[in-house]
Structure 1
């Protein structure tokens, strides 16, 4: 299978900080096909959807799936998507909502069909097996959905300093047979759904 899971470390999409990544997503799917955006992690903020439509709307048929539109709308959007983009915000909001509506199995099926699935920051954390949650310089390992092949953990918005702190937590955890990646803003790792191999895109740095 082609590499079709984009794990994006962060960056201001409206300011062009993820332009190389955005262009790679566009090249990965057919022009005019369905692009579904979930701004769940940001509380379905209208402005976020507008930015996504501005960036991707000339290339894709963009649909914004929100809680207000209902569960069936989200289910059908995932089933018919060529690209699914999980935006940034609060990871717990995204994980809780998708699990409440039982959307994770549909997301897994989409990946197996070869649908492009991109996660920005919170979205990236949800897609991998585990992630480092950082708050006020306190670090905690939390579980994601494990939709990439192999055991993968991430630290998003990473810097060299924050990654070194995260490594110390990682080395004392049950995930030592896993792989931790620090992904800076403006960088992404691209995985396949059934292969642990990956490629790196974007101007930002990756630490391993």
Structure 2
């Protein structure tokens, strides 16, 4: 059973409500004709508007949408609810808050089990950070810093690589200093698709939107553009 992670640097329904190309791509990776996709908005504090926009977008697509709230739980058994899904789609917000709450609810371990059982993991921003060993997070009115993720994927990621002015320089500096592992800078509108922990595709919803492999030699960092397949 193959393991899949689709990590969005930005885009999707929450940033491009009139362009659901990345969301359609996520659904297309399931073998189910009408996949069960569960939105997990923990990182935003389960903002009602964010949840509403998810249902509005995925209600237009061929799927069975639902959401998982840790603030107003509707499930009877968290483990069974998660394992019943075909896709878990994690929203953006605070990566730190997401990880703390998941650990408190033991949701991190449940998601790891779901991943091993073939449930597709997807997410944007904080929902991309969480799958890697390291991610870049930005506290309110503070400098960006590295945060440990769940480590399903090795290395690091920087979402919004081109979309937020502080992201790229902070990420490159952290890799250059060795405080973050080498990894990927992912522009808004681009996504990385991993199968069995190997990067197999880079896709984008905006033309000429690549991702970047970031490596280090000594204190020097190097960016290698990875061309992305444009999703019409």
Bin the TM-score by the shorter chain: 0.7 to 0.9
Quick check: 69-78 or 56-65, which moved more? 69-78
Aligned partners of 1:40 and 1:66 also within 8 Å: yes
- DSSP 3-state at the match of 2:144: strand
Q: What stretches of structure 1 move > 6 A for 4+ residues in a row?
A: none
User: What is the alpha-carbon distance in structure 2 between the residues aligned to residue 163 and residue 69 of structure 1?
Assistant: 37
Counterpart residue number, 2:176: 171
User: What is the alpha-carbon distance in structure 1 between the residues aligned to residue 179 and residue 170 of structure 2?
Assistant: 17
- Unaligned stretches of 5+ in structure 2? 214-232
Between structure 1 and structure 2, the one with the greater Rg is 2
User: What is the alpha-carbon distance in structure 2 between the residues aligned to residue 72 and residue 92 of structure 1?
Assistant: 26
Q: CA deviation at 1:2?
A: 4.4
Q: 1:18–1:121: structure 2 CA closer, same or farther, 3 Å change rule?
A: farther
Q: CA deviation at 1:174?
A: 5.0
Q: Which has the higher helix share?
A: 1
**1:63-142 maps to which residues of 2 (within 5 A)?**
63-67=66-70, 68-69=72-73, 72-134=76-138, 138-142=143-147
State the number of aligned residues. Answer: 203
The answer to whether residue 210 in structure 2 is matched with residue 205 in structure 1 is yes
Q: 1:84–1:61: structure 2 CA closer, same or farther, 3 Å change rule?
A: same
Give the root-mean-square deviation of aligned CA atoms. Answer: 2.3
The alignment's TM-score, normalised by the length of structure 2, stands at 0.78
- DSSP 3-state at the match of 2:198: coil
- Unaligned stretches of 5+ in structure 1? none
- DSSP 3-state at the match of 2:22: helix
Q: CA deviation at 1:137?
A: 7.4
Query: Which is bigger in relative contact order (C-alpha 8 A, separation at least 6)?
Result: 1
The alignment's TM-score, normalised by the length of structure 1, stands at 0.86
User: What is the alpha-carbon distance in structure 2 between the residues aligned to residue 18 and residue 128 of structure 1?
Assistant: 26
Q: 1:13–1:164: structure 2 CA closer, same or farther, 3 Å change rule?
A: same
Counterpart residue number, 1:9: 9
